[in-house]
Amino acid sequence: DTGVSQDPRHKITKRGQNVTFRCDPISEHNRLYWYRQTLGQGPEFLTYFQNEAQLEKSRLLSDRFSAERPKGSFSTLEIQRTEQGDSAMYLCASRRTSGRRGDNEQFFGPGTRLTVL
């Protein structure tokens, strides 16, 4: 168990460019979540995958955002035509489906910090 990993850790881009982030969850975790955290705020839910199916998207996820989890393992989050307001930390979390009550902890990756100039 090597934990949730995210790549890159930092990304600086110019407004209007496209960026893509990758998340590798803990192996055998079938549930994967993306969150966005802006300065001085707590993380906010963006989207959720169960295996390869994207089952929920927040209204925060505008049409410039797209997320995939093609084989039910790693996931990518793409932002097209970036805007300065997209500058934030993007966090990925994963967990397994468990029948045990209370076994519901999400494990977070270190995040990708995006700066849009």
Partner 1 sequence: AQSVTQLGSHVSVSEGALVLLRCNYSSSVPPYLFWYVQYPNQGLQLLLKYTSAATLVKGINGFEAEFKKSETSFHLTKPSAHMSDAAEYFCASTHSGGYQKVTFGTGTKLQVIP
Q: Give the residues lining the site for partner 1 (CB under 8 A).
A: 4, 6, 31, 33, 35, 40-45, 48, 50, 55-56, 91, 93, 95, 101-102, 104-111, 113
Q: Shortest approach of partner 1 to residue 41 CB, angstroms?
A: 6
CA distance 100 to 109: 24
Q: Shortest approach of partner 1 to residue 71 CB, angstroms?
A: 20
In terms of CB distance, is 44 or 83 closer to partner 1? 44
CB-side exposure of 63: number of CA atoms within 13 Å?
Answer: 0
In terms of CB distance, is 58 or 80 closer to partner 1? 58
Q: Shortest approach of partner 1 to residue 30 CB, angstroms?
A: 12
DSSP state of 46: E
Q: Could you identify the residue written with the tokens 């930390």?
A: 89
Residue 40 carries which side chain, given as an amino acid letter? G
Could you tell me if 54 and 47 are in contact, meaning their C-beta atoms sit under 8 angstroms apart?
yes
